[in-house]
Amino acid sequence: MASGSVFQDSPTVNSVSSAATIGDPTFRDLNDIYYADTCEPLTEAVRSGAIQMSALARGHYPGQPLRPNEVPGLRTVGLWDASQQQDWGLDWHRNEGIEITYLARGSLDFAVDDREWQLQSGQVTITRPWQRHRVGKPNVGPSRLHWCIIDVDVRRPNQQWIWPDWVALSNDDRQRLTELLKHNEHPVWPAGRDMDDTFEAMAACVSRPDTRTRDSRLRQLVSRLLLDVLEALEKQRVVLDEKLSSARRSVQLFLADLDNYLDHGWTLTEMAESCELGRTRFAQYCQEITNMSPTEYLTSLRMQRAAELLLREPDLSITDVAFKCGYDSSQYFSAAFSKYHRLSPRAYRTARPAD
């Protein structure tokens, strides 16, 4: 592992807005639009001098800006070096591309979806486009972390991945790498010496004051990194699950997030369109996943939320509870609640004291 610093005369964080800008990649999920993460806590840590960072970026990622035609599809590449415990972390977020990180030194708490790891030096993480993940619990500790995010133009789980045309892998290797990244659910792997060397070479490239050949160097190094990842995953005999990129997976993700949007007046058509499916196919997948129709599943979530609100927020009126659960009419809400819980909302609040 290279031990020298790459920070002398290196690109450092510039002025970066935390707000999304027009043209930044987005992911439409349910009633919201997700923007790629801005890494604002990292930006603030660099500004305050709590951490060193060397990075190149485009969009609203922190770092020196990549030129418009430089390594198209590369969203950000760089590293941070934290010599002591930090008072910040990267809370749950999503990135528009494939994110590959490598922990060269230290340890880090890392989570993807509902699983957690404590990363050790020499481990690499790979998250799929728009996969929900977190770094720190809640803060990050002393660590040297490299990263690279490559946009493959995915905005839905079942869309085809489109690699930048400069990626120097054969068609067969591209297809195999796509298969390995797209269809496995395990995000943490041992890196190996080759990947360590590649990330350190990328860090050195990022820090070079001479930018004349940087575009060519980065194209070669990112391609080399992808080849390193392919070879590492082949050695691990990855277990693949094609369901991770299927239409069923889109419905599964939709349903998993639905309880965050219960105040919206969902129709079956809207729910199906959110997954880019027809009503019949969406309903079939929902039945398979939940053993309920879409309407039954939505109602069950709303009734559970209503019960929580009635008990935990006693100052909320019945009408307010109805609105928060997606009902336009308190009368209709009360009738639905009484049918589901066998008590009226008012009686439920009186009979079931809050925990």
Task: Spell out the SS3 assignment of 43-57.
Answer: HHHHHHCCCEEEEEE
Domain ranges of the chain: 26-243, 247-351
Question: Do the beta carbons of residue 85 and residue 109 sit within 8 Å?
Answer: no
Rounded CA-CA distance 109/115 in Å is 11
Q: Which fold has domain 26-243?
A: Jelly Rolls (2.60.120)
Beta strands in the chain (DSSP E): 26-29, 32-35, 52-57, 64-65, 74-82, 90-93, 98-112, 115-120, 123-127, 133-135, 143-150, 188-190
Task: Say what the pLDDT of residue 73 is.
Answer: 96
Q: Which helix (H) or strand (E) holds 218?
A: helix 214-236
Does 247-351 match 26-243 at the fold level? no
Q: Would you tell me how many other CB atoms lie within 10 Å of the CB of residue 226? A: 23
Task: Say what the pLDDT of residue 257 is.
Answer: 82
Q: State pLDDT tens for residues 324-350.
A: 999 999 999 999 999 999 899 999 988
pTM, 2 dp: 0.65
Question: Do the beta carbons of residue 88 and residue 136 sit within 8 Å?
Answer: yes
- Percent of the chain having pLDDT more than 70? 85
What length is written for the chain? 355
- Among 3.90.950.10, 3.20.20.70, 2.40.50.100, 1.10.10.60, name the CATH number for the domain at 247-351: 1.10.10.60
Rounded CA-CA distance 135/116 in Å is 10
